[in-house]
């Protein structure tokens, strides 16, 4: 109970972010088991909701009304790994990117997200403005940009290009299968860990 009492309002939004991502993963598993579209669409809707929670936790934490939280930064990173790393990868797997090479690329994407968040947490103090204490820019693309991948998959579902009809088809490469569409996850992961991309932080 002492930990619960330490939560701030911003932390509650962060928990909401993590909860949305986790439930989205469960719904993907439900869809694989039962093939009911309502599970899939609910999973799609929860990930933008996770992004809203992520934006709100930052706003509340920066506002005069939000007191500082000792847990805040770590909670935010852990929630982001679930909602913008693992959940989009599980969604891709759910929609048909299940080949051996697909799983390798999706794992790379998640690992890049974890690495990018760890680097930010370690370097945040060094990147912060001396006067305001605010981090001036991101190194690499922020992990919530993976919501663009979720949107792309949403378009694929509407167009009926999932499972055996995935855009760009499938290739047999040696011992495993690769769906070329999975490579957008690889590119996204590489952009996240790029040290040469500096994006101003809002």
Question: Taking the chain (202 residues) in consecutive chunks of 10 residues, what is each chunk's mean pLDDT?
Answer: 67 94 98 95 97 88 60 86 98 97 98 92 65 65 95 96 93 96 97 76 59
Integer Cα distance of 53 and 71 in angstroms: 16
Domain residues for the domain of 21 are 2-200
Residue 171 confidence (pLDDT): 96
Instruction: Count up the domains in the chain and report the number.
Output: 1
Measure Cα distances from 62 to 17, 144, 148 in Å. 17, 19, 26
Residue 84 confidence (pLDDT): 98
Residue 123 confidence (pLDDT): 74
Residue 2 confidence (pLDDT): 58
Give the residue from 74, 80, 86 showing the smallest Cα distance to 121. 74
Q: Are 67 and 143 in contact (CB under 8 A)?
A: no
Integer Cα distance of 124 and 127 in angstroms: 5
Q: Are 71 and 7 in contact (CB under 8 A)?
A: yes
Residue 178 confidence (pLDDT): 97
Q: Are 196 and 129 in contact (CB under 8 A)?
A: no
């Amino acid at each position: 109970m002492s930990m619960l009492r330490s939560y701030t309002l911003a932390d509650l939004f962060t928990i909401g972010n993590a909860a949305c991502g986790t439930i989205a993963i469960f719904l993907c598993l439900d869809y694989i088991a039962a093939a009911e579209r309502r599970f899939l669409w609910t999973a799609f809707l929860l990930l933008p909701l996770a992004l809203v929670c992520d934006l709100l936790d930052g706003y509340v934490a920066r506002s005069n009304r939000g007191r500082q939280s000792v847990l805040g930064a770590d909670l935010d990173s852990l929630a982001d790994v679930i909602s913008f790393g693992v959940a989009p990868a599980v969604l891709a797997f759910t929609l048909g990117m299940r080949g051996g090479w697909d799983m390798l690329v999706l794992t790379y994407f998640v690992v890049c997200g974890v690495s990018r968040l760890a680097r930010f947490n370690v370097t945040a103090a060094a990147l912060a403005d001396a006067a305001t204490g605010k981090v001036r820019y991101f190194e690499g693309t922020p992990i919530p940009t993976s919501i663009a991948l979720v949107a792309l998959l949403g378009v694929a579902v509407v167009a009926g290009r999932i499972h055996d009809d995935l855009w760009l088809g499938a290739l047999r490469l040696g011992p495993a299968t690769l769906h070329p569409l999975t490579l957008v996850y690889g590119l996204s992961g590489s952009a996240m860990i790029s040290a040469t991309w500096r994006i101003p932080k809002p």
